[in-house]
Chains A and B, each alone.
Chain A
Amino acid sequence: MISKRSVDIVSSYVVKIVLIITIIFLFFPVIISITFAFDPRNFPTFPPIGFTLKWFENFFRMRTFIEGLKWSLIIAVTASGISICIAIPTSFAITRNEFNGKNILLAAFQSPLIVPGVVAGVAFLTFFRGFLNIYSALTNLLIAHTILTFPYTLRTIGAAIAGLDRTLEEAAYSLGANPLSVFRHVILPQIIPAMVSSFVFALAISLDDVAISVFLTDPYVYTFPVTLMGYMKVTFDPTIGVASIILLVLTTIIILIIDRLVGIDKFAAFGIQR
C-alpha cells in the first residue's frame, strides 16, 4: 500500500509542474510577440536573429494603421463615455426602485454578452443599412460599440451605486442641498473610481473588437483591429509585432489604472464576468 505521505509528495509535485507549464504557456506568447517586432526577416521564424527598428518605421509610414488607430481611439473613448452616461441613471433606476418586469429589463441589458459578435455584426449591418438607411460607418460603429460595452459599465457602476451610503445623501438634503448639488458633491465623488475603472475596461473591450466592427467599417472609417485583420491575412511580417507592442502598452496602462483605483484583486473577483 502506498503511504499517505508519498501520495502527498507526488501529488504536490504534479500540481507544481502543471502550474509551471501553465505559467510558461500563458507568458511565453507575450515575450514572443515583443521579441519578433525587432526581427529583421520578412517572415519571422524561430529563433529570432538580429535586431532592427525598420518595422517601427514601416508601421508609422502605413497610413491605414495610423488612421485605424485614430478611429479606434475616437470610437472607443466616445462609445465608452456614452455607455457610462447611460449606465449611471440606469443604475439609479434599477437599484432604488421596484417595478414590474425589472428582471426582464436586467436580462435584456445583459443580452449583448450572450450574442456572438458575428451575429450582432450581421444584425447591425442589416438593420442600420437596410431599415434605418444609416450609411455612416462612424455612426454605426459608435452605436454598436456603445451597446457592446454597456453590460460591463452597467455592472460595475450598478454595484458602486448599490453600495452607496444613503444617509450621506439624506444629510445633504436635510441641510438644504438640491438634487443637482447632491449628485455633484455627494454621489459623484463616491462613484468616480467605479466610473473610471469601468471606462477603461470598456475601452479595452472596444479596442479589441473585430467580429462586430468588421461588418460596419467602410473605406473611410475603419478600426485598428479591422485593419490589422486585413493586413495579417495578406502579409505576416513583424509590423504586426509593432502593433502588438502598442496594444500591449495600452493594455498595461489600463491594468495599472484599474489597479490604482479599485485594486486588481478586487476587480478580478468582481469585474471579470463576461
Chain B
Amino acid sequence: MIFPAIILIFPLFLIPLASILIISLFKYSPLQSLWIPEFTIENYTNVVTSPLFIDVLISTIRIAVAVMVLSLILGYPIAYYIARSPSNFIKRTLLIISVLTFFMSWVPRLFAWIIILGKYGVINTMLRLITEEPIKLLGTDLGIIIGLTHAMTPLTALILINPIKNIDLTLEESAKSLGADNIQTFFKITLPLSLPGIISALILTYSVAVSAFITPMMLGQGITLMMSNYVYTRFGETLNFPLGATLAVVLLTVALTTSYIINLSLGKLVKVR
C-alpha cells in the first residue's frame, strides 16, 4: 500500500535531486549536448569565487534572519490575543486576518506592496508631506524584508497559538499575585514556556525566507537578488545545465546548513535556561 508513495518520492523526487549533484560535476559543452560526462569541479569554483555570488549569499542570509525576527515580534502578540483574549470577537477577527493573509496568493500581496513601497507609493506620498526626498524601498533589502515579513507573520502567529494556549494560566496568575508586573511575568513565565513553539516558528520562517523566490524577484526589481533569483537568472540566461545544477546544489546546501545552524544555536539557548 505504501508503494505509490515510494514511487512518487524516490524515483520522481529524490533521484532527480541526486542527479543534479552528479550533473553539477559534469562539463558543459554548448555545441554537443546538455553536458559531457567528464568530472570536473570547475562549476563549483566558478560559482563560489564570483563576487556577486558572495554578495547575494550574504544579503540572503541577512534578509532571512531579519524576516525571522520581525515575524516573531509581530506574530507573537497576535497569537497571544487569539489564545488568551476574553473577547470572542477579537479572537475571531485576529484569526480571520491571520488565516486570510496566510492563504493570500503572492499576486495580490506583491501587487499591493509594489504600490505601497513604490516611488509614488503610499509611504512616499505620506512622506512627501514632511520631506522632499522620497525613500527608496523597491529594489532594496528593506523592501524585500517588508514583503516577506508580511507573508511570514501570519504563519508565525498561527504556529504560536497552541503553544501559548497550552501554558498553564495559574502560573502567570501566581507570579502576578506574588508581586510581579506584566513585563516580569511575560519574560519569566510566558516567554520561556512558549520557547519550543517560538523555536519551531523561527526555524520555519527562516527556511521559507531563505529560499524565497517570487517576493524578492518582484520587490527586489532585479537590483537586489536573493539566492533563488540568482540561480534562476544565471540558469535562465545560459541554459547551462551543469552550472544550473551546481547553483541549485549550492542553494540547497546553504538553505539546509544555515537552518541547521540556527536550529542548533536556538536549541542551546533552551538548554542554558
Binding site for B on A (CB under 8 A): 4, 7-8, 11-12, 15, 18-19, 22-23, 25-30, 32-34, 36, 44-47, 85-87, 89-90, 92-94, 105, 108-109, 111-112, 114-120, 122-124, 126-131, 143, 146-147, 150, 154, 204, 207-208, 210-211, 214, 225, 228-229, 232-233, 236, 240-241, 243-245, 247-248, 250-252, 254-255, 264-265, 268-269, 272-274
Supply 15 further A-B pairs (C-beta < 8 A) apart from A45-B115, A122-B231, A247-B108: A22-B74, A25-B150, A28-B112, A30-B108, A89-B5, A119-B252, A119-B255, A123-B16, A128-B16, A130-B23, A143-B12, A211-B214, A225-B214, A229-B217, A264-B99
- A residues near B211, Cβ cutoff 8 Å: 116-119, 211
Interchain CA distance A154-B109 in the complex, whole Å: 28
- Contact A123-B20, Cβ < 8 Å, known A93-B2, A273-B159, A274-B208: yes
- A residues near B248, Cβ cutoff 8 Å: 118-119, 122-123
Give the number of residues in B that approach A within 8 Å (Cβ atoms).
92
Q: Tell which of A4, A33, A207 touches B179, judged by Cβ atoms closer than 8 Å.
A: A4
Interchain CA distance A99-B106 in the complex, whole Å: 41
- 25 A–B contacts, CB within 8 A, in A order: A4-B179, A11-B186, A29-B150, A46-B115, A46-B120, A86-B4, A87-B5, A89-B2, A116-B210, A116-B255, A117-B228, A118-B211, A119-B17, A126-B19, A143-B12, A147-B9, A211-B213, A211-B228, A228-B107, A229-B217, A244-B108, A245-B108, A255-B100, A269-B158, A269-B162
Binding site for A on B (CB under 8 A): 1-2, 4-6, 8-10, 12-17, 19-20, 23, 34-35, 73-75, 77-78, 81, 94-116, 118, 120-122, 125, 150, 153-155, 158-159, 161-162, 179-183, 186, 204, 207-208, 210-211, 213-214, 217-218, 227-228, 231-232, 235, 241, 244-245, 247-249, 251-252, 255-256, 259
Q: Tell whether, in the assembled complex, residue A36 and residue B115 are in contact, meaning their CB atoms are under 8 Å apart.
A: yes
Main secondary structure on A side of the interface with B: helix
Q: Tell whether, in the assembled complex, residue A146 and residue B8 are in contact, meaning their CB atoms are under 8 Å apart.
A: yes
Taking each of B13, B81, B228, which has the highest tally of chain A beta carbons within 10 Å of its own beta carbon? B13
Interchain CA distance A37-B58 in the complex, whole Å: 37
Q: Tell which of B17, B34, B95, B105 touches A251, judged by Cβ atoms closer than 8 Å.
A: B105
Q: Tell whether, in the assembled complex, residue B183 and residue A7 are in contact, meaning their CB atoms are under 8 Å apart.
A: yes
Interchain CA distance A200-B134 in the complex, whole Å: 43
B78 to chain A, nearest CB (A): 6
Q: Tell whether, in the assembled complex, residue A86 and residue B155 are in contact, meaning their CB atoms are under 8 Å apart.
A: no
- Contact A28-B116, Cβ < 8 Å, known A22-B78, A93-B2, A229-B217: yes
Q: Tell whether, in the assembled complex, residue A46 and residue B121 are in contact, meaning their CB atoms are under 8 Å apart.
A: yes
- Contact A251-B5, Cβ < 8 Å, known A26-B153, A244-B111: no
Q: Tell whether, in the assembled complex, residue B9 and residue A150 are in contact, meaning their CB atoms are under 8 Å apart.
A: yes
Interchain CA distance A62-B112 in the complex, whole Å: 22
Q: Tell which of B8, B20, B35 touches A122, judged by Cβ atoms closer than 8 Å.
A: B20
Interchain CA distance A47-B1 in the complex, whole Å: 58
Q: Tell whether, in the assembled complex, residue B2 and residue A225 are in contact, meaning their CB atoms are under 8 Å apart.
A: no
Who on chain A is nearest to B93 by CB? A23
- B residues near A127, Cβ cutoff 8 Å: 15-16, 19-20
Q: Tell whether, in the assembled complex, residue B103 and residue A255 are in contact, meaning their CB atoms are under 8 Å apart.
A: yes
Q: Tell which of B16, B108, B115, B161 touches A268, judged by Cβ atoms closer than 8 Å.
A: B161
- A residues near B104, Cβ cutoff 8 Å: 30, 248, 251
Interchain CA distance A208-B106 in the complex, whole Å: 7
- A residues near B180, Cβ cutoff 8 Å: 4
Q: Tell which of A29, A112, A214, A244 touches B116, judged by Cβ atoms closer than 8 Å.
A: A29
